[in-house]
Amino acid sequence: MGKSFAYLVPIVLHALAHQGDGPVVVSTRTIALQEQLEQKDLPFLHAVLPLEWSSVTAVGRSHYVCLRRMHLAERERRSLFDDRSREAQLDRVVEWARQSHGGLRFELTEPVDDEVWEEVRAEQGNCLYKACPHYDACPYQRARRRLDSAQLIVVNHALYCADVALRMAGARFLPEHRVVVFDEAHHLERVATEALGARLSLGTVLWQLRRLRPRRSRAGLIERAGSSRAAVLLDDTRTAAEAFFAMLHARAERAGAGRGRQLALEADDVLEDPVSAPLVEFAAELHAAAAKFTEVDLRTELQARARSLQGLGAAMAALRGPCSAETVRWIEVDARGASLHAAPLEVGAALARHVFAAPRSAVLVSATLEPGDDPQLTWLRDRLGVGERADAMRLGSPFDYRRNVRVRIPDAMPDPAREPDAFLRRCRDEVRERVLRNGGRALVLCTSWSFVRAIRDELAAPLADAGIALLVQGDAPIRDLLRRKLAEPTSVFVGTESLWEGIDVPGEALTLVIVTRLPFAQPDHPLTRARLRAIEARGGDPFTEHSLPEAVLRFRQGFGRLVRRADDRGEVVVLDPRARTKGYGRAFLAALPDGVMADDGDGVV
C-alpha cells in the first residue's frame, strides 16, 4: 500500500465518524499531486469502500474563470488587448467556458497567454457574490459550495499556507477543520516562508498599470474612467516605479550583487520611496472615478484595480523599512531587473499557532521527513514549531535495496572545494563514460546551472553518435522533458534543483542516477545567512543544525529517484569524494535506506 492510501483510508473513516467537526483536509506539494489524488486514488477508494462520503479538490481563486469578467472582456476587447491574436484567444476561452463544467484554466485544451487569462479570471475583491447574474453558474462559487459541504478536501501546500496568512489577518479561505494531513511535509517550511513573505518588482507594478492601459493602446480602462487626473497619475506612477527599481538595481550592482545574486538589507535600512504616494493617490482617483459609473461591471472592475494599487502601496510601504529583527529583507537581481523581497526569519511560531494548535490535529507524511538517524524528528519539530506534543513513527521501505541497488563512490576524485577545476574535468569524464556504458537510461543531478551546462556540452556529441537523446532542464518545461524521458527510455536527463525530487521514472527508463556533488545549498542567500547567524547567536552550530541536515535530506531525495517500484534496480554514483573523505560524509551514507551497500568498485566502503 502506498503512503497516500495509508493516510486516506483512516481519515475518510475519521471524517465519517466525526461529521460535526468539519472536513478533513489533505495538503499535497503541488497541483499535479492533487490531480493524482483526485483522478486516481480517490476514485479507487470511492469504488472499493462500502461507504458514502464526499471529496473535493480545491485550488486558488485565480485558477477559475469569472463569467461576468469574461463577458465584460468580450465587450471591452479593443480597450483590453492590443493585438488580434489575444482577441482570438479570448474567443476560445468564451467557447470553452460554455462547455466547461469546472471552469479551471488547466482544463483548457489550448493554452492562452497570461495577459488574456488575467482579464477573465476570478479575483478577490472583484466579485459581486449573490448580486452577480452569473452567481448560480459561477465555477468558483460552485466550487466554494462543494468545499463547504465536503467531508474531505484536497489542497496544495501553497494554498494551505495562503490560508494561514489569511487567518493571521482575520480572514480565511478554507472551512474550519480539525484534521489536516500534509503529504511531502518536508516542503512545508519553504512554502510557508514564501506565503508569509512578500515580493515586489517593477514587472508587478507595470502589470497593474497595463491592466488599466495596454502598452500600445490609449483606449484602456483609464480612458473609460473619464478622469484626466487618473491618466496623469498613471504616468507619474510608472515613472516613479521605474526610477525606484533602477535605484535598487544600481545599489545592488555597486555592492557586487550582479545577476542571480542578492543584496541583504539591514533591519533599520530605510529605502527612499517615491512610489507609495502616487500609488495611493492614483487608487483614490480611480475610486472616485468608479463611483461615477452607472454600469456595474465597469465600476466593479475599476474599484478592484484601485484596491490592487492600494495593496501595492501598502506592500511598498512595508518593504521599504525599517523592519523587525524577525524579518529578512533583500534586493535580488535577475534578467528582468531588480526586485525587493521580505521573508520571516522563521515560521515555526506562526505554524504552531495557526496550524498545530489544539483542537486541530495534524499528520505530517513524507519519505524524507528527517535527514538521517533522527527517529523523533527533532530537526523537523524545531523548524516547523511542532514541539514535543507530537508522536513520531518511522516505517521501513518495502523495497529490497540490498538486492536491487548499489551505490558507487569512485576512488581518487578531486575535492570539489579545494580543486574545483580538476573536479569538473573528472566529473565530465566520469559522467560520459558511465552514461555510455549504461546505454543511457540515466539521470544526472547537478547543484548549479554552470555544472548542468558543462555536462550538457560533454555529453552532446557522444550521445548523438550513440543515438541516445539528451534532455536538459531549461530546454523545455520539465513536464515535457519528463514525458520524453518516459517515451524514450534510453534518453539521459540532466538538471539541477527541480530534478532532485518529484520526478517519477520507473522501470528500464532509469537504471543509473549520478550525483555530481553533495547538495549543500549556497550559504550566501540573505535568508540562509540570517538563519545561520540566528543559530550561532543562540550558541548552536550552523553547519550541523542547518546546512548538513538540509543537504542530507536533498541527497536522500536524489537517491530516491532510482527506485520507484519493487522491481526497479540500478546504480547511484556519487562523484563527490567528500561522502567518504570527510567526517560529515558518514551522515550522507547513514541516511541511505537499510540494506544499501556503497563501494568504490573494488570493495565496500
SS (H, E, C) 57-121: ECCCHHHEECHHHHHHHHHCHHHHCCCHHHHHHHHHHHHHHHHCCCCEHHHCCCCCCHHHHCCCE
Which comes out higher in pLDDT, residue 225 or 360?
360
User: How confident is the model over 463-486, as pLDDT tens digits?
Assistant: 999 999 999 999 988 888 999 999
* Per-residue pLDDT band at 215 (split at 50, 70, 90): low
Predicted confidence (pLDDT) at residue 102 exceeds the cutoff of 80: yes
Q: Say which residue, 253 or 257, is predicted with more confidence.
A: 253
CB-side exposure of 293: number of CA atoms within 13 Å?
21
Q: Which segments of 436-475 are extended strands (E)?
A: 442-445, 470-472
Classify residue 260 by its DSSP letter: T
Residue ranges of the domains in the chain? 3-54+150-194+347-389, 62-139, 198-344, 401-599
Asked if 290 and 227 count as a contact pair (C-beta separation under 8 A), the reply is no
pTM, two decimal places? 0.86
pLDDT of residue 400: 86
Element (H, E) at 331: strand 327-334
Q: What angle do CA 324, 326, 331 make, to 5 degrees?
A: 80
pLDDT at 249: 93
Give CA–CA dist 37/153, Å, rounded. 11
End-to-end distance of the chain based on CA atoms, in angstroms? 34
- Beta strand spans in 476-601 (E): 492-495, 512-515, 570-574, 597-599
For residue 605, pLDDT beyond 50: no
Integer CA distances (angstroms), 431 to 408, 438, 573, in order = 13, 10, 9
Please report which residue ranges of 262-295 form alpha helices under DSSP H.
Answer: 276-290
pLDDT in tens, 241-256: 999 999 999 999 888 7
Q: Are strands 442-445 and 405-408 parallel, antiparallel or unpaired?
A: unpaired
Report the distance separating Cα 363 and Cα 26, nearest Å.
9
**% the chain with pLDDT above 70:** 97
Q: What pLDDT shows up at residue 225?
A: 75
Contacts of 62 (CB under 8 A, 6+ apart): 121, 122, 123
* Residue-level pLDDT at 601: 53
Helix axes 157-168, 188-195, angle to 10 degrees: 50
**Three-class DSSP category at 259:** coil
In the predicted structure, residue 220 carries a pLDDT above the cut 80: no
- One fold for both 3-54+150-194+347-389 and 198-344? no
Residue 81 has pLDDT above 90, yes or no: no
CATH 1.10.3470 is held by the domain 198-344: no
All three cell numbers of 378, joined, read 527533532
Mean pLDDT, rounded, for 200-220 = 80
Average pLDDT over residues 251-264: 82
Instruction: Pick 514 or 111 by higher pLDDT.
Output: 514
Per the prediction, the chain carries an average pLDDT of 90
Q: Which of 387, 363, 391, 380 is nearest to 177 (CA)?
A: 363
Q: Which of 110-114, 433-437, 561-565 has the highest mean pLDDT?
A: 433-437
Question: What is the per-residue pLDDT for 217?
Answer: 56
Residue of 546, 538, 498, 483 lying closest to 520 (CA atoms): 546
The percent of the chain in helix, strand and coil, each rounded to the nearest 5, is 50, 15, 35
Closest CA to 189 of 57, 331, 364, 11: 364
- Paired residues of 571 in beta bridges: 406, 512
Across residues 384-403, what is the average pLDDT?
84
Mean pLDDT, residues 556-573 taken together: 92
> Other C-beta atoms within 10 Å of 95: how many?
10
Residue 528 scores a pLDDT above 80: yes
pLDDT-derived band at 603, boundaries 50, 70, 90: very low
- Say which CATH topology domain 3-54+150-194+347-389 has: Rossmann fold (3.40.50)
Helices 202-210 and 228-254 cross at an angle (nearest 10°) of 160
pLDDT of residue 84: 86
pLDDT digits (tens, 9 = 90+) for 139-169: 999 999 999 889 999 999 999 999 999 999 8
CA dist., res. 89 & res. 93, Å (int): 6
Taking the CB of residue 228, how many other CB atoms lie within 10 A of it?
Answer: 11
Residue 604: the pLDDT is 40
**Pick from 80, 123, 304, 77: nearest CA to 211:** 80
pLDDT for residue 446: 96
User: Which DSSP letter does residue 503 get?
Assistant: -
How large a percentage of the chain has pLDDT more than 90? 65
Mean pLDDT is lowest, of 202-216, 230-244, 513-527, 555-569, for 202-216
- Would you state the pLDDT for residue 218? 57
- Which pLDDT value is given to residue 440? 97
CATH code given to domain 401-599: 3.40.50.300
Give me the mean pLDDT over the 207-227 stretch: 75
Residues in the chain, overall count: 605
